[in-house]
Amino acid sequence: MNPADISAAVREHVRSVSLGESTGHDWWHVSRVAGLAATISEAEGGDPLRVELTALLHDVFDEKFYDGNAGAALSDLVEQLGIRAAFSDMVWDGIIYDILHLGFKGVFDRTPLSPEGQIVQDADRLDAMGAIGIARTFAYGAVKGQEIYNPESGCVEICTPEEYRNVNRSTINHFYEKLLLLRDRMNTDTARKIAERRHRFMEEYLAEFFAEWEYTVSCSRRDQDGCAGKKNQSG
């Protein structure tokens, strides 16, 4: 198979298994990540086919949703799609290693990846930022049954990978434990530049979110004060 046919076979498969997925890890996420990764790779280098296949396959057996041995499942899929000959076994091992380690597992995670893996990691992280990142975060939170925000529990600090996976907290918390940290964790200069605007937009969004929340709280306080509030105003 030539690179175009390999790419088409993988695209077709991934599209068929991820189209309509509702947590923000759907085909359109994969497709955006592949596009971003190609853009970054044009400036930063790397084997284009390796970048593309890593991007297309990066969420197929994501540990958030897949309970089995993701490495073995990926290896079987390569066989099933008939694309094993595209790379040597050693390169496939590297690709699978990258895919298993490129997801965000908390601030403590700094697993080294190949140059192609780093590019796809940047692309995946860029798609978790900005307007699209915000939409995906609330979609994921809803599927996981999380509250949007709870001022009584406030911001929950996450200290270990286990807490990152298991502690129940609001979706707004996710901005502070992950999304706002991504800009400073990009591997490539190209991604760092793209991340800048997306980061600013998330900060503006949060400022607006909390301004509206505060405004609503002060309105209900005024209502509770009722006549007393008015009396104070008139002296």
Note the residues at the interface with Ni ion (CB under 5 A).
59, 124
CA–CA distance, 224 with 216 (Å, rounded to integer): 12
Q: In the complex, what is the shortest distance from the CB of residue 29 to Ni ion, in angstroms, rounded to a whole number?
A: 6
Cβ proximity of 96 and 75 under 8 Å = yes
Of 52 and 124, CB closest to Ni ion: 124
* Alpha-carbon distances, residue 224 vs 92, 100, 151, 228, 230 (angstroms): 65, 53, 19, 9, 11
Taking CA 104 as the corner, what is the angle to CA 98 and CA 110, rounded to the nearest 5 degrees?
70
Q: In the complex, what is the shortest distance from the CB of residue 214 to Ni ion, in angstroms, rounded to a whole number?
A: 34
Of 55 and 86, CB closest to Ni ion: 55
Of 52 and 59, CB closest to Ni ion: 59
Q: What share of the chain is helix, strand, coil (3-state, %, to 5)?
A: 70, 0, 30
Q: In the complex, what is the shortest distance from the CB of residue 112 to Ni ion, in angstroms, rounded to a whole number?
A: 19
Q: In the complex, what is the shortest distance from the CB of residue 101 to Ni ion, in angstroms, rounded to a whole number?
A: 13
Structure tokens belonging to residue 225: 């004060």
Q: In the complex, what is the shortest distance from the CB of residue 171 to Ni ion, in angstroms, rounded to a whole number?
A: 17
Of 58 and 149, CB closest to Ni ion: 58
CB under 8 Å to 17, separation ≥6 — which residues? 60
Of 30 and 86, CB closest to Ni ion: 30
Using DSSP, how many helices (H) and how many strands (E) does the chain show? 10, 0
